[in-house]
């Protein structure tokens, strides 16, 4: 486990950019952390690095947003409001998880059983200061 201390949103940006550069097609990134820890914010900075210029918003009501204008497709999931695993089957999640792009999954602990074996996970917690975050990475 690697622990990264994020001191500000600028650090989140730097981390997100570096991470996006290191990922390749078929990678799944699981983001686990409470409301407001910055899962969407991190995803937004990753998307910028991939060359995606559309605004990144939480796909809370759609479960998934697809962005295809960048260097690699980005599939952004937010499974917070998922009624059950059936919703994931219905949207054909395997096509995405074992597909041609990068998947980022907010609230991924809610679908832990469906995550591929080589999923990279970041657990995000709050720090002492309002803009501080602690990332615990399993990669």
Binding site for Mg ion (CB under 5 A): 39-40, 58, 106
Cα angle, residue 20 at apex, residues 33 and 55 outer, rounded to 5°: 75
Smallest gap from residue 127 Cβ to ligand ATP (A) = 8
Smallest gap from residue 13 Cβ to ligand ATP (A) = 8
Q: What is the dihedral of CA 62, 66, 67, 71, to 10 degrees?
A: 150
One residue of 76, 120, 123, 133 binding ligand ATP per CB under 6 A: 133
Smallest gap from residue 12 Cβ to ligand ATP (A) = 4
Residue ranges in 50-79 that form contacts with ligand ATP under rule CB under 6 A: 58
Question: Residue 38 binds what, of ligand ATP, Mg ion, none (CB under 5 to 8 Å, by partner type)?
Answer: ligand ATP
- Which residues, in sequence order, are CB contacts of 133 under 8 Å at separation 6+? 6, 12, 37, 38, 124, 125, 126, 127
Nearest to 43 by CA among 31, 27, 26: 31
Smallest gap from residue 75 Cβ to Mg ion (A) = 15
**Do 103 and 26 meet the contact criterion of CB atoms below 8 Å apart?**
no
Chain contacts with ligand ATP (rule: CB under 6 A)? 6, 8-9, 12, 33, 35-41, 58, 106, 131, 133
């Amino acid at each position: 486990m690697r622990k990264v201390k994020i001191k500000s949103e600028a650090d989140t940006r730097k981390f997100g950019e570096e991470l996006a550069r290191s990922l390749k097609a078929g990678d799944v990134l699981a983001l686990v952390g409470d409301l407001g820890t910055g899962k969407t914010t991190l995803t937004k900075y990753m998307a910028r690095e991939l060359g995606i210029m559309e605004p990144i918003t939480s796909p809370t009501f759609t479960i998934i947003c697809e962005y295809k204008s960048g260097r690699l497709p980005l599939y952004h999931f937010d499974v917070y409001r998922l009624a059950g695993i059936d919703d994931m089957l219905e949207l054909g999640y395997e096509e995405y998880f074992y597909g041609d792009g990068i998947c980022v999954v907010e609230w991924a602990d809610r679908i832990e059983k469906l995550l591929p074996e080589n999923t990279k996970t970041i657990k995000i917690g709050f720090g002492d200061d309002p803009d501080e975050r602690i990332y615990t990475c399993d990669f």
